[in-house]
Homo-oligomer: A and B are copies of this chain.
Amino acid sequence: MSTPSRSAPTIVDVAREAGVSKSLVSLAIRGDAGVSDATRTRILDVADRLGYHSNALARGLVKGRTQVVGLLVSDLSNPYFADVVEGIEEDATATGLGTVIGHGRGSAEVLARRLDEMLDLGVDGVIVISAMLDAETLDRAAARRPLVMVGRPFDAPRRVSVVRNHDEHGAQAAVGHLLGLGHTRIVHVASSRRAAATARRSSYKETMRAAGLEPQVVEAADGGVSQALDLVARDGGPTACFAGNDRIGTALIHDALERRIDVPGAISVVGYDNSEVGRLVRPALTTVEQPREAMGREAMRLLLSRIDGDREVAEVTLEPRLVVRASTGTAR
Enumerate A50-71 residues with CB–CB distance to B below 8 Å.
51, 53-58, 60-61, 64, 66, 68, 70
**Beta-carbon nearest neighbor of A277 in chain B:** B280
B81–A76 touching, CB < 8 Å:
yes
Q: Taking the complex as formed, is A209 at the interface, i.e. its CB lies under 8 A from any CB of chain B? A: no
The interface-forming segment of A117-125, A213-221, A315-323 is: A117-125
Enumerate A77-118 residues with CB–CB distance to B below 8 Å.
77, 79, 81-83, 85-86, 89, 93, 98-103, 105, 110, 114, 116-118
Q: Taking the complex as formed, is A332 at the interface, i.e. its CB lies under 8 A from any CB of chain B? A: no
A54–B120 touching, CB < 8 Å:
yes
Q: Taking the complex as formed, is A8 at the interface, i.e. its CB lies under 8 A from any CB of chain B? A: yes
Q: Taking the complex as formed, is A16 at the interface, i.e. its CB lies under 8 A from any CB of chain B? A: no
Q: Which residues of B contact A86 (CB under 8 A)?
A: 105
Give chain B nearest CB distance to A13 CB in angstroms: 15
Q: Taking the complex as formed, is A282 at the interface, i.e. its CB lies under 8 A from any CB of chain B? A: yes
A: number of interface residues (CB 8 Å): 50
> Which residue in B61, B81, B98 is a CB contact (below 8 Å) of A57?
B61
A138-B143 Cα distance, complex, nearest whole Å: 39
Q: Taking the complex as formed, is A281 at the interface, i.e. its CB lies under 8 A from any CB of chain B? A: yes
14 contacts between A and B (CB under 8 A): A7-B64, A53-B119, A55-B122, A57-B57, A68-B121, A70-B100, A75-B82, A76-B76, A77-B79, A89-B103, A93-B110, A98-B117, A101-B102, A250-B280
Residues of A within 8 A of B (CB): 7-8, 51, 53-58, 60-61, 64, 66, 68, 70, 75-77, 79, 81-83, 85-86, 89, 93, 98-103, 105, 110, 114, 116-122, 143-144, 250, 276-277, 280-282
Additional A-B contacts beyond A70-B100, A100-B100 (20; CB < 8 A): A51-B143, A53-B116, A53-B119, A53-B120, A54-B120, A56-B117, A56-B121, A56-B122, A61-B61, A66-B121, A68-B121, A76-B76, A77-B82, A86-B105, A89-B103, A93-B110, A98-B117, A99-B114, A101-B101, A280-B281
